[in-house]
Homo-oligomer: A and B are copies of this chain.
Amino acid sequence: MNVAGSQAQVDRVFHALGDPTRRAIVEQLSEAPRSVSGLAGPLRITLTAVAQHLQILEDAGLVRTEKTGRVRTCRMETAGLAVLEQWVGQRRTTLERRLDRLGDFLAEPDQ
Residues of chain A touching chain B, judged by Cβ–Cβ distance below 8 Å, are 10-11, 14-15, 17-20, 23, 26-27, 30-32, 76, 78, 81, 84-85, 88, 90-92, 94-95, 98
Contacts and interface: CB of A to CB of B under 8 A. Distances in A.
B84 A84 contact: yes
Contact of A95 (B78, B91, B94): B78
Give the dominant DSSP class at A's interface.
helix
Total copies of this chain within the assembly:
2
Given A14-B23, A18-B18, A84 B88 contact: yes
B94 A30 contact: yes
Given A27-B91, A32-B98, 17 more contacts: A11-B20, A14-B14, A14-B23, A17-B18, A18-B18, A18-B19, A26-B91, A30-B90, A30-B95, A30-B98, A31-B94, A31-B98, A76-B91, A76-B95, A81-B88, A81-B92, A85-B88
